[in-house]
């Protein structure tokens, strides 16, 4: 292995890709990982690997939706009407009596409707009568406040399809279908490595000549936000032999994230060292800002992302490339961050040729439409503006800049909301979009 002979990259390596092409290159190589069985208690955030069928009808009988009286609707036609109470049915009971005309049964929410009754009158529409009687105050139509047998699920039917992402509602539905154990896609195992002689580890003492290793932790958190606990490999120095040892270890994972050392400096050894370890590199450099010197390769089933050292660049590259790959491996169908249109509060300058991701904060204006404002310095080393940002505003690559008041697309950060397609600002934002966003999106003050 010769770590010193790699600049520029091999001529066959595609470079200067668009974000969209780079995403397509990565996602063309991903497929959901195999299935594993886990306890329902651990299933949140995972993706179903098999269809789930109902094991029974639910509700198991026609049941009351209210506390009240099971009656025959015809008996209430000339309300007020006095009916004799002949039974008292609670949830879980089996009705004993078939109602005759002029009779009713006290019934609780969830209790089975007795034979002879065809509707339910709510307690609020009744008044206690003398002895065992009740006065029904209003006429009720047949089939009021009755939930029909199997209206929620029918035995044998598929209630949740393979590929469903498991949220709290899904966990509830799985419990309803009595799935104590659930078949889900395996989650990718992720390793994170930082590289650079200048880096000071989080728990190392302060050294005035060094800079703190931020990337290990920012990337860790981005992975954790996807429900995956990564392994932190530490910091490799800019030395091919040392790097090689770290990288070989990382290549045992499903995803290896390396930050730093992948640019054109004479001490950037990451890409040649990976090549020497048998990693096939598929692209290097994407026409984006920040994040230009990003590279992607594979060895066997391991996906290797060489992320730029600058902390914001590495986070932005994670958002565009690692996140969709990670979600695809975990079996998700929605791979991309949710975007929404927002109106710029100020003008933005841009050099055409690269798509730009600008850190912005979002707020709603008086009419409920989102307004985006710069979150501060757009330097790729400024983690603080990343900490403030609600999203990344997309300045399309052809744009020379955007005027104040113009609408642009914003990728939301860390909201847990995803969408089906990558939207990268190359389609116009319609007025309809703006209104839809203001009606349905819930973030912002
Ligand atoms: P490189 O990609 O190695 O040329 O690094 C580009 C810039 O990012 C340099 O200023 C590095 O000091 C900085 N950098 C690299 N790795 C990290 C890291 N793990 N945490 C914070 N800054 C980093
Ligand atoms: Mg470096």
Residues, beta carbon < 5 Å, ion ligand 2: 196, 260-261, 309
Q: Is the CB of 67 under 6 A from ligand 1?
A: no
Cα(308) to centroid(ligand 2), Å: 9
Q: Which residue has the tokens 């994972």?
A: 253
Identify whether 397 is part of a domain: yes
Contacts 24+ apart (CB under 8 A), 157-161: 157/53, 157/54, 158/51, 158/52, 158/53, 159/52, 159/53, 159/54, 160/48, 160/51, 160/52, 161/48, 161/51
Q: Do residue 49 and residue 79 come from a single domain?
A: no
Q: Do residue 306 and residue 420 come from a single domain?
A: no
Atom 15 in ligand 1: residue holding the nearest Cα: 309
pLDDT of residue 364: 83
Q: Is the CB of 192 under 6 A from ligand 1?
A: no
Q: What's phi and psi for 367, nearest 5 deg?
A: -90, 5
Contact 271, 262 (CB under 8 A): yes
Query: What separation in angstroms does the CA of 184 have from each of 34, 194, 415?
Result: 8, 31, 23
Q: Is the CB of 254 under 6 A from ligand 1?
A: no
In angstroms and rounded to an integer, the radius of gyration of the C-alpha atoms of the chain is 30
Residues spanned by the domain of 166: 35-58+151-185
Closest ligand by atom to 199 CA: 1
pLDDT of residue 365: 82
Q: Do residue 95 and residue 121 come from a single domain?
A: yes
Task: Write the DSSP symbol of residue 17.
Answer: B
Position in ligand 1 atom list of the atom nearest CA 213 = 20
pLDDT of residue 78: 96
Q: Do residue 117 and residue 73 come from a single domain?
A: yes
Q: Is the CB of 222 under 6 A from ligand 1?
A: no
Cα(260) to centroid(ligand 1), Å: 5
Cα(338) to centroid(ligand 1), Å: 28
As averages over each run of 10 residues, the pLDDT of the chain (445 residues) reads 42 80 98 98 98 97 97 97 98 96 98 98 97 97 97 97 96 98 98 98 98 98 96 97 98 98 92 97 96 97 98 98 98 95 96 96 85 97 95 97 97 71 74 50 41
Closest ligand by atom to 292 CA: 1
Cα(268) to centroid(ligand 2), Å: 6
CATH number of the structural domain spanning residue 158: 3.90.105.10
Cα separation, 166 vs 311, whole angstroms? 31
Q: Do residue 384 and residue 300 come from a single domain?
A: no
Atom 17 in ligand 1: residue holding the nearest Cα: 309
pLDDT of residue 228: 98
Contact 338, 419 (CB under 8 A): yes
pLDDT of residue 289: 97
Q: Do residue 289 and residue 398 come from a single domain?
A: no
Cα(194) to centroid(ligand 2), Å: 9
Residue from 3, 213, 260 to probe ligand 1 pocket by mutation (most atoms less than 8 Å from CB): 260
CATH number of the structural domain spanning residue 68: 2.170.190.11
CA geometry: angle at 419 spanning 442 and 189, to 5°? 110
pLDDT of residue 277: 98
| Domain finish residue from 329, 359, 384 | 329
Counting runs of H as helices and runs of E as strands, what totals does the chain give?
9, 30
Structure tokens at 46: 């995972």
Identify whether 334 is part of a domain: no
Q: Global pTM?
A: 0.88
Identify whether 442 is part of a domain: no
Query: What separation in angstroms does the CA of 75 have from each of 62, 280, 315?
Result: 20, 80, 69
Q: Do residue 295 and residue 196 come from a single domain?
A: yes
CATH number of the structural domain spanning residue 427: 2.40.340.10
Cα(197) to centroid(ligand 1), Å: 10
Identify whether 309 is part of a domain: yes
Query: What separation in angstroms does the CA of 338 have from each of 214, 334, 372, 441?
Result: 26, 9, 15, 10
């Amino acid at each position: 292995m010769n770590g010193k002979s790699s600049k520029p990259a091999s001529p066959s390596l595609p470079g200067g890709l668009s974000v969209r092409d780079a995403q397509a290159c990565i996602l063309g190589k991903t497929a959901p990982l195999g299935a594993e069985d886990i306890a329902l208690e651990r299933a949140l955030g995972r993706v179903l690997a098999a269809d789930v069928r109902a094991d029974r009808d639910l509700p198991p009988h026609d049941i009351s939706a209210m506390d009240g009286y099971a009656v025959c609707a015809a008996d209430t036609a000339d309300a007020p009407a006095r009916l004799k109470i002949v039974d008292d049915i609670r949830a879980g009971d089996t009705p004993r009596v078939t109602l005759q005309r002029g009779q009713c049964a006290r019934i609780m929410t969830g209790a089975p409707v007795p034979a002879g009754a065809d509707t339910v009158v709510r307690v609020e529409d009744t008044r206690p009568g003398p002895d065992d009687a009740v006065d029904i105050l209003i006429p009720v139509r047949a089939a009021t406040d009755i939930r029909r047998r199997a209206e929620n699920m029918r035995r044998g039917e598929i209630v949740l399809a393979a590929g469903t992402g498991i949220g709290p509602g899904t966990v509830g539905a799985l419990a309803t279908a009595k799935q104590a154990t659930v078949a889900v896609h395996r989650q990718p195992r992720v390793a994170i490595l930082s590289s650079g002689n200048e880096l000071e580890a989080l728990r190392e003492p302060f050294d005035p000549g060094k800079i703190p290793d931020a990337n290990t932790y920012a990337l860790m958190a981005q992975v954790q936000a996807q429900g995956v606990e990564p392994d932190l490999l530490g910091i490799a120095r800019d030395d091919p032999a040392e790097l090689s040892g770290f990288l070989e270890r990382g290549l045992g994972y499903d995803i290896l994230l390396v930050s730093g050392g992948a640019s054109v400096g004479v001490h950037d050894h990451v890409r040649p060292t990976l090549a020497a370890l048998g990693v096939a590199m598929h692209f290097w450099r994407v026409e984006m800002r920040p994040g230009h010197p990003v590279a992607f390769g594979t060895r066997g089933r391991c996906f290797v992302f060489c992320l730029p050292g600058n902390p914001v660049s590495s986070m932005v590259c994670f958002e565009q490339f690692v996140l969709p790959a990670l979600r695809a491996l975990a079996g998700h169908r929605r791979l991309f961050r949710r975007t929404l249109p927002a109106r710029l509060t100020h003008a933005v300058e841009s050099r055409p040729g690269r798509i730009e991701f600008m850190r912005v904060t979002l707020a709603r204006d008086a009419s409920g439409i989102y307004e985006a404002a710069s979150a501060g310095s757009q330097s790729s080393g400024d983690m603080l503006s990343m900490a403030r940002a609600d999203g990344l505003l997309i300045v399309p690559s052809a744009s020379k800049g955007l005027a104040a008041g113009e609408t642009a697309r914003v990728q939301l950060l860390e909201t847990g909301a995803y969408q089906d397609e990558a939207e990268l600002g190359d389609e116009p934002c319609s007025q309809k979009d703006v209104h839809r966003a203001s009606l349905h999106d819930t973030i912002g003050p």
